[in-house]
Chains A and B, each alone.
Chain A
Amino acid sequence: MTYSTETLEQATVESMQRFSKRYLASVAVLLVLVIAGAVAYVHQLQDGLYVTGMRDRITWGLYITLFVFFIGASMGGTFVSAALRLADMGWRAPISRGAEYITVSALLTASLFIFADMGHPERAINIMLFGRWESPLVWDVYGLTTYLAGSMVYLYLAVLPDLALVRDRIGHRLDPIRRLFVIMFSASWTGHPKQVKALDTSLKVMTVVIVPVAVMMHTVTSWIFGMTLREPWDSPMFGIYFVVGAVYSGVGLIVVFMYIMRRMNHMEAFLTERHFLNMGKLLAGAGGVMIFFQISDLVTAGFKLKGESALNLYQLADGDMAPIFWTYIWVGLMIPLALMLLPFTRNIWGVLIASVLANVGMMLERYFIVVGGLRLPLNPYEPPDYTPTFTELTIVVGLCSLFILLLLIMMKLAPAISVQEMVETGEIEAVQVDAKGVVA
């Protein structure tokens, strides 16, 4: 028996009204962490960046590491959603909404990490007033805002019919804020064929445009490092390396979010093993490319042992950063790939574990790119150390919590599963129901 559109609409729209205890508890905890982060940030504003563990030699630390990580995570979201739409992959339907949420939330969080790292955040407007187009940082700022704008437009176009659905079904029962939000942003959508045609055209255009924008965005982020003369960063490969790493960690983050949505909103029927396995295949593909990059990097550096690239190799493979590096290789790259290749781990749990490990690995990779690159001495002194302080960690935790909090809020502003896409692509027919019409 097929699952009707009506039932789907009812289910998703009703879930917006349901604030479970688990949900409220999560929001409360995250809010506390965010406030703690804000307090720590005020302390940092007063005393300067002295409160972090960064000093003149290791001048970029956890803030920039996490900035790059979240930019990578954002790449996974809309890029995957748009690429799958371009390739006409129907199974993307239940995933795409969550993926788009991740992108918007990750980009906002990433820009906050940049603010946290600046010595004079109040002068950020200088980038607009005095920005030099020759600077990689300016390319990154404009890339980030463009990708954020594009993702928001893309998300909005995709969610528009669903907002209209919410307005029509439960608009009168919503609280005033959400009612206003839904009415305003559903922009008088009535399902008229002309509206549908316009939306289709716009979405097609946005899909095609957002993919190269996403790739460029992460490439210019990599050029913040790639345009310097420091040995570990001075490589033309940085652009594509960062893009592939972003897809890898982004896909992993989507899987984690999928799993949380599945459990929290009881969407077992929509986010089935098939979806997880398909994402697992994407993960394995990206992971394979990452392994290839790592091997080619190590082999070319290790064969020649030329100058400072040899120092970097020693530092990573053998020296003080060895635990981080080898954890990244085995736990972050090899094990996820193995989990995806072995038949008995090819299930939801396997994909979930692989994704979590992939993200842990990518976080470590960002760390040894940023901090390891700065650690290499350019003058004769002992390689310096970097230890994050409590204040720094509080701000980091606060901003990561903000990322998750934004996701949770967005889940209650619009249906968490894209009803529009489920019907469009015909995925709704794949939903399993039992004889009573209840989802399996």
Chain B
Amino acid sequence: MTNFPMHTKRNLLSALAIIIAIAGIAGWSSIASAQQPVPSLNLGFEPTALPGETLAISAYLTDPLGNPIYDAEIEFSYDVEFMNVTDSVEIGSAITDDTGLALVIWHPRSDGDNHIVASFAGDDVFTPANDMQVLEVLPGTQLYRELPPYRIPGANVWLTTGLITTVWVIFIFSLALVGWANLKTRNSPHTGSTGDQRGGSDA
């Protein structure tokens, strides 16, 4: 190296400096990326619930040092198998506040073990994270009830039955009256023949 002329030495030195700089930056960035913090997400809710009950699902998002991460969007969902299709159904989403808490209100509908998942999609600082916990939904009462079909007030059984009964009573009474009168007096005489009874009676 001592035999090289001076300008070549300067070139070599600058090339070396550049190489060292590039290697250093590469090294540093790789070390830096290998160290991107992984947040931790912790779901919290009551372990059991009834169907339809108001349930508060909370999720805490903290960095590896335990500091809360705020303004991060957490999505909540739960896994279902419905009609032989397994899928994850969205419950809602919430933004973490200053304490790293994201809160969503839910009314569970499915019986049995509900696997509730909270997930954080990650941003330019943190990697994605998620958490799953099981909520046991106890057997409960029917939530969705239909209104009964409309009923016409009055057109019920008793009104119709009453009307028909009254009318038929009148029919039978009229027949019975005439029948009774005929049979009772069939042998008793009266003046004149059958043609005379019409003489004085009115309609």
Q: Do chains A and B touch in the complex (CB under 8 A)?
A: yes
Q: Closest residue to B166 on the A side, CB-wise? A: A209
Rounded to whole Å, the gap between the CB of B121 and the closest CB of chain A is 46
Q: Closest residue to A188 on the B side, CB-wise? A: B186
A160 and B178 form a contact (CB under 8 A): yes
B186 and A190 form a contact (CB under 8 A): yes
B197 and A157 form a contact (CB under 8 A): no
A191 and B182 form a contact (CB under 8 A): no
Rounded to whole Å, the gap between the CB of B152 and the closest CB of chain A is 8
Known: A187-B183, A194-B185, A209-B170. A6 touches B195 (CB 8 A): yes
Does A320 touch B at the CB level, under 8 Å? no
Known: A196-B201, A421-B203, A424-B198. A133 touches B185 (CB 8 A): no
Does A199 touch B at the CB level, under 8 Å? yes
Does B194 touch A at the CB level, under 8 Å? yes
The complex places the Cα of A194 from the Cα of B152 at a distance, in Å, of 47
A348-365: which residues lie under 8 A (CB-CB) from chain B?
A: none
- A209 contacts which chain B residues (CB < 8 A)? 167, 170-171
B182 CB contact (under 8 Å) in A189, A200, A205: A189
- A160 contacts which chain B residues (CB < 8 A)? 178
B157 and A133 form a contact (CB under 8 A): yes
Known: A192-B185, A193-B190. A213 touches B167 (CB 8 A): yes
- Give the size category of A's interface with B: 35 or more
Does A175 touch B at the CB level, under 8 Å? no
- B177 contacts which chain A residues (CB < 8 A)? 198, 201-202
B198 and A165 form a contact (CB under 8 A): no
Known: A146-B167, A187-B182, A194-B184. A168 touches B194 (CB 8 A): yes
Does A366 touch B at the CB level, under 8 Å? no
Number of residue pairs A-B, CB distance < 8 angstroms = 114
Q: Closest residue to B149 on the A side, CB-wise? A: A134
Does A218 touch B at the CB level, under 8 Å? no
- A150 contacts which chain B residues (CB < 8 A)? 167, 171
B171 and A153 form a contact (CB under 8 A): yes
Does B143 touch A at the CB level, under 8 Å? no
Does B180 touch A at the CB level, under 8 Å? yes
A205 CB contact (under 8 Å) in B156, B170, B183, B197: B170
Does A434 touch B at the CB level, under 8 Å? no
Does B35 touch A at the CB level, under 8 Å? no
Rounded to whole Å, the gap between the CB of A46 and the closest CB of chain B is 36
- A165 contacts which chain B residues (CB < 8 A)? 194-195
A146 and B188 form a contact (CB under 8 A): no
Does B48 touch A at the CB level, under 8 Å? no
B197 CB contact (under 8 Å) in A139, A153, A196: A196
- A161 contacts which chain B residues (CB < 8 A)? 194, 197-198
Does A59 touch B at the CB level, under 8 Å? no
Q: Closest residue to A197 on the B side, CB-wise? A: B181
B175 CB contact (under 8 Å) in A156, A192, A197, A420: A156
Does A425 touch B at the CB level, under 8 Å? yes
B168 and A146 form a contact (CB under 8 A): yes
Known: A421-B203, A424-B202. A157 touches B183 (CB 8 A): no
Does A112 touch B at the CB level, under 8 Å? no
- B201 contacts which chain A residues (CB < 8 A)? 196, 200, 424
The complex places the Cα of A190 from the Cα of B182 at a distance, in Å, of 8
The complex places the Cα of A6 from the Cα of B198 at a distance, in Å, of 12
Does A378 touch B at the CB level, under 8 Å? no
B181 and A194 form a contact (CB under 8 A): yes
- B190 contacts which chain A residues (CB < 8 A)? 190-193
A153 and B175 form a contact (CB under 8 A): yes
Does B36 touch A at the CB level, under 8 Å? no
Q: Closest residue to A198 on the B side, CB-wise? A: B181
Known: A193-B190, A424-B201. A198 touches B171 (CB 8 A): no
B174 and A191 form a contact (CB under 8 A): no
A295-343: which residues lie under 8 A (CB-CB) from chain B?
A: none
Does B196 touch A at the CB level, under 8 Å? yes
A187 and B178 form a contact (CB under 8 A): yes
A187 and B179 form a contact (CB under 8 A): yes
The complex places the Cα of A425 from the Cα of B202 at a distance, in Å, of 7
The complex places the Cα of A197 from the Cα of B190 at a distance, in Å, of 14
- B31 contacts which chain A residues (CB < 8 A)? none
Pull 9 A–B residue pairs with CB atoms less than 8 Å apart, ordered by A. Answer: A139-B160, A153-B174, A168-B193, A191-B198, A199-B181, A200-B202, A206-B170, A209-B170, A421-B203
Shortest beta-carbon contacts, A-B, top 6: A198-B181, A191-B197, A188-B186, A202-B174, A192-B185, A423-B198
| Additional 12 contacts, C-beta under 8 A, given A191-B192, A202-B175 | A85-B203, A134-B155, A146-B164, A146-B168, A153-B171, A157-B174, A189-B182, A191-B197, A191-B198, A192-B190, A209-B167, A424-B202
Q: Using a CB–CB distance below 8 Å, which chain B residues touch chain A?
A: 151-152, 155-157, 160-161, 164, 167-168, 170-171, 173-175, 177-186, 188, 190, 192-198, 201-203
